[in-house]
Structure 1
Amino acid sequence: MAPAADREGYWGPTTSTLDWCEENYSVTWYIAEFWNTVSNLIMIIPPMFGAVQSVRDGLEKRYIASYLALTVVGMGSWCFHMTLKYEMQLLDELPMIYSCCIFVYCMFECFKIKNSVNYHLLFTLVLFSLIVTTVYLKVKEPIFHQVMYGMLVFTLVLRSIYIVTWVYPWLRGLGYTSLGIFLLGFLFWNIDNIFCESLRNFRKKVPPIIGITTQFHAWWHILTGLGSYLHILFSLYTRTLYLRYRPKVKFLFGIWPMILFEPLRKH
């Protein structure tokens, strides 16, 4: 993480408990961490289209909520990195917990009848979210948040491995791709934290276009945004298979993955 001696800009002094390795206000006076901010677009725009498509396809509301939750995370992260204010930090970090709880609910309800509600699991996840929120507001310790978030991600990983091992082995490609991209983003996140001083010194010696490629926290946003989006596709694919639909992964403009499906014809 970055030292606290960066320059100030439009939003004034930093009040967040975290300040990342990107040099503050080095691109524009209006955005504290420019690349860490704009990299959140991958978590904002595609999930919005996913939510719209889910409404059109008549999918269960929890998948619409998954897409929208990822969008909220992206918007919160945008506000946080743009301002480096504590209130905006909460708008980034707490939705990460809430969105992961929605993902967990979807993954554990993949094999239930359509539109069913698991009130016990729902209550447990809501209670977990409330406890994490209350404790985090009290202690203001980022490591606590990171551990709680990590627990949810680990739960998703175990559930995904179970599905691709014992239920739908042919989904290994999608499941492991989602996991691999997310873990690569986590690796970049750690590199950004551990080698911040070396990265800053390197950027001073190379052309800006090369220095941009070393903004590893921005890469964390891009890779985890894509990994989370693919996880939603994986969860949705699993669910629609169980409901006897014909899901297929298609690539919009040959680049961006999405799911198309149709109900099985009744004979």
Structure 2
Amino acid sequence: MAPAGDREGYWGPTTSTLDWCEENYAVTWYIAEFWNTVSNLIMIIPPIFGAIHSVRGGLEKRYIASYLALTVVGMGSWCFHMTLKYEMQLLDELPMIYSCCIFVYCMFECFKTKNSVNYHLLFTLILFSLIVTTVYLKVKEPVFHQVMYGMLVFTLVVRSIYIVTWVYPWLRGLGYTSLGVFLLGFLLWNIDNIFCDSLSLYTRTLYLRYRPKVKFLFGIWPVILFEPLRKQ
């Protein structure tokens, strides 16, 4: 993980408790982490279409809420990586907790026979969200948020395995493929955090060594990514 405040741009000094491996303001003065920002479009646009499709299909509100929650997470993550401000970090991290609570509710309510509300589960998840929010605002410790988020994800994974193993076995391939992709992303995320300095130095060295060939094969984008770094 990169140290906070390695470069300053349009949004001023970094105030977030996290600053990721991507170089700050390397592409544009207006976006702190360009690629971490624009990649959030995959969490903003498709869920909007999913919510619209759910409304048109007459699905229960919990499914619509799930799609919209994912969109909110994407928008919060966009603002966080664009500005690296603490307030925008909260706009990213707290909706991650809330959206996962919605997902947990949906996963445990997917077998009910009528349109009803599980008030006990709903109260438990709301209470969990309030406790996590209160504690996190006080301690401001990213590891605490990651552990709480991990607990929710673990619950979703266990529930999903149960569903594709015992209830809908014909979805087993899709379920395990999804789990594999998720675990691969988690692995890459940890590699990026742990070996950030080594990976950054390695990619810069490779680029400088093969700069003419890279420009010939891939055009201007590698130049936008690495040319500002070469001057440091």
1:106–1:193 CA distance, 2 compared to 1 (3 A): same
User: 1:265 corresponds to which residue?
Assistant: 230
Displacement of 1:175 in angstroms is 1.3
Displacement of 1:85 in angstroms is 0.1
Alignment partner of 1:6: what SS? coil
- Does structure 2 retain, via aligned residues, the 8 Å contact 1:31–1:83? yes
1:112–1:78 CA distance, 2 compared to 1 (3 A): same
Residues 212-257 of structure 1 deviation map (CA, whole Å, 9 limit, x = unaligned): xxxxxxxxxxxxxxxxxxxxxx999999999999999999999999
Say what the alpha-carbon RMSD is for the aligned residues: 15.8
Runs of 4+ with >4 A deviation: 234-267
Question: 2: CA distance between counterparts of 1:8 and 1:261?
Answer: 17
Residues 75-118 of structure 1 deviation map (CA, whole Å, 9 limit, x = unaligned): 00000000000000000000000000000000000111232110
- Does structure 1 retain, via aligned residues, the 8 Å contact 2:79–2:88? yes
Displacement of 1:166 in angstroms is 1.0
Displacement of 1:194 in angstroms is 0.5
1:55–1:29 CA distance, 2 compared to 1 (3 A): same
Matched length:
231
Alignment partner of 2:172: what SS? helix
Larger Rg: 2
Displacement of 1:4 in angstroms is 2.6
Identity of aligned residues (%): 93
Unaligned runs of 5+ in 1: 198-233
Question: 1: CA distance between counterparts of 2:59 and 2:226?
Answer: 11
Displacement of 1:164 in angstroms is 1.1
Alignment partner of 2:211: what SS? coil
Question: 1: CA distance between counterparts of 2:228 and 2:115?
Answer: 16
Alignment partner of 1:259: what SS? helix
- Does structure 1 retain, via aligned residues, the 8 Å contact 2:26–2:228? no
Question: 2: CA distance between counterparts of 1:136 and 1:153?
Answer: 18
Q: TM-score, normalised by structure 2?
A: 0.84
Displacement of 1:12 in angstroms is 0.3
1:61–1:265 CA distance, 2 compared to 1 (3 A): farther
- Does structure 1 retain, via aligned residues, the 8 Å contact 2:43–2:70? yes
Displacement of 1:177 in angstroms is 1.9
- Does structure 1 retain, via aligned residues, the 8 Å contact 2:11–2:83? yes
Displacement of 1:180 in angstroms is 1.4
1:248–1:150 CA distance, 2 compared to 1 (3 A): farther
Question: 2: CA distance between counterparts of 1:15 and 1:125?
Answer: 30
Residues 138-188 of structure 1 deviation map (CA, whole Å, 9 limit, x = unaligned): 000000000000000000011011111111111112211221111111111
Q: TM-score, normalised by structure 1?
A: 0.73
Question: 2: CA distance between counterparts of 1:127 and 1:176?
Answer: 31
Which structure dedicates a bigger proportion of its chain to helix?
Answer: 2
Worse-matched range after superposition: 181-190 or 13-22:
181-190
Question: 2: CA distance between counterparts of 1:116 and 1:241?
Answer: 58
2:22 is aligned with 1:19? no
1:266–1:73 CA distance, 2 compared to 1 (3 A): closer
Alignment partner of 2:219: what SS? coil
Unaligned runs of 5+ in 2: none
- Does structure 1 retain, via aligned residues, the 8 Å contact 2:4–2:18? no
Alignment partner of 1:258: what SS? helix
Alignment partner of 2:209: what SS? coil
1:124–1:261 CA distance, 2 compared to 1 (3 A): farther
User: 1:188 corresponds to which residue?
Assistant: 188
